[in-house]
Amino acid sequence: MMRSPRTRTLLVVVSVLLILTDVILAVYVNRNVPEPYMDEIFHIPQAARYCHYDSTWDPMITTFPGLYYLAFIYFHVVAFGCRFLAIISPVIQCIPTPVILRFLNLMLSWATSIVVSLILKSERGQRGSGYVDDLLGTLWIRYLPVGFLYNFLFYTDAGSLFFLVAARWLVGTRRPRLAALCGACAVLFRQTAVVWVAYLAIWGILRDLHVDPRTPVARVLRRLWAELPEVLWRYFGFLLVGLGFAAFVLANGSLTLGDQAHHPVSFHGAHLLYFALFLCLSHGARVFPLARRALQAGIAQPARAVAVLVCVAGLLLCGSIGHPYLLADNRHYAFYLWKDILRPAAPGVPLVPSRLIR
């Protein structure tokens, strides 16, 4: 379906306003916070060393060097442009300052929004939506506060999110090998991305097998076994990512590169509940039909509802972990959520019903 002139105009206007708003916010952030902020005190010096061909590693950095590899490429492209402009104006110089490095994440956030719009466009027929709905969906995802803040800082979040979203789009368009490559890049930015890479692989396999979500597990496994050679061939890249990550953990003895003493592997059961609550809040009005069905199911099967509530309450009361860095830094959203809401056991229990919404 062709876009009408009015729709094209709307998309152009919104895109221009989006970019202008981001640039204004970026200028505001850099004027008020010109020096490295929060974890930038580790990331920016490390990136600056990479940009100057120095691979000395800061032992306090826990993530893989994907951010610094991309910063190296980005910086030298910018430096080439600066050298060209210096012919016209000798005062133009290029050094890896916080302003220049932060702009990389801003560009990654724009690229993420483009890929999100491609995902929504590719699935428009399934959802019965239009261009305006796709635009609103893209803006909704872009301006989620949890991620939007880091678009203006030099963090690993923007890069990891971009490559994960790109992998999601490629799996959705049946290009799993390229998707696995993007997934590997996402893991190079943040180790936690490996969970989403595994999810994308499973989602893609089940979709290729034309399996309905309500299909019994035994039937799914039989179908998978019957088509295992073809599945392995198509999703071999994802298998390599998983095996490579497992080999790293075994060889390294930890999930993190540096500061391993403060990042031990532990079971954080309550994190699943926080994630479920976040999904409920971020999906807005779509949650209400699910909440109604969950309430009806709880009334119809009270024993199951009580069992779920008891398990979830146990996770909240006994499975909550407060990381020392979380408690020591009041510049994160999570600090106030933990201090004022999640740490006290009593306020945590009323969040239990959110676990039923699934």
Residue 158 CB contacts under 8 Å (≥ 6 apart), including other chains: 105, 106, 108, 109, 112, 147, 150, 151
pLDDT tier, 270 (very low <50, low <70, confident <90, very high otherwise): confident
For 178, the enclosing helix (H) or strand (E) is helix 176-189
Lowest-pLDDT range of 109-118, 160-169, 180-189, 336-345: 336-345
Instruction: For residue 177, give the nearest of 115, 231, 238, 241 by alpha carbon.
Output: 238
pLDDT at residue 318, rounded to an integer: 67
Higher pLDDT, 126 or 132: 132
Does residue 309 surpass a pLDDT of 70?
A: yes
Does residue 263 surpass a pLDDT of 80?
A: no
Angle between helices 98-122 and 131-142 (to 10 degrees): 140
Segment 219-255, tens digit of pLDDT? 878 888 888 888 888 899 999 999 999 999 898 888 8
Higher pLDDT, 101 or 333: 101
CB atoms within 10 A of CB 307: 11
pLDDT tier, 319 (very low <50, low <70, confident <90, very high otherwise): low
What percent of the chain has pLDDT above 70?
A: 79
Lowest-pLDDT range of 95-99, 184-188, 352-356: 352-356
- CA–CA gap between residue 240 and residue 262 (Å, rounded): 29
Q: Which burial class, exposed, middle or buried, applies to 150 when counting CB atoms under 10 A from its CB (0-12, 13-18, 19+)?
A: buried
pLDDT tier, 347 (very low <50, low <70, confident <90, very high otherwise): very low
- CA–CA gap between residue 34 and residue 124 (Å, rounded): 42
pLDDT tier, 194 (very low <50, low <70, confident <90, very high otherwise): very high
In three-state secondary structure terms, 32 is helix
